[in-house]
Amino acid sequence: MRRVCFVLQVKRDRLVEYRIRHRAVWPEMLAALSRHGWRNYSLFLRDDGLLVGYCETPDFSQAVAGMQDEEVNARWQREMGGFFESLPGAAADTSMRPLEEVFHLE
């Protein structure tokens, strides 16, 4: 299992709504993430909009690619795209670039 961490930037004026949306992620979105190998997936949000994501998956590229075939993911990305500062990819899910892990206690 590979540990993956990434960062994105949420617009400051959308922080409250972003938090609210993630209290009620659609069940079909959660099922799709599970189907494509997203495990122990967490998001952490700082008050300045820094979003830190973490997940464990056998293959992050495959986990992201698998979600591209899910209709629910396309809907979610359309609804959530406006929450983010500039995205280097077409949507938040294709803009996640894993950070290099430099230390792990085990």
- Round to whole Å and give the CA distance between 52 and 6: 6
- Round to whole Å and give the CA distance between 5 and 96: 9
Helices (H), 24-91: 27-35, 60-68, 71-80
**pLDDT single digits (tens) 34-74:** 999 999 999 999 999 999 999 999 999 999 999 999 999 99
Instruction: Inform me whether the pLDDT recorded for 91 exceeds 90.
Output: no
pLDDT at 106: 86
| Domains present along the chain, CATH in parentheses | 2-95 (3.30.70.100)
- Round to whole Å and give the CA distance between 42 and 28: 17
- Note whether 63 and 55 are within 8 A (CB): yes
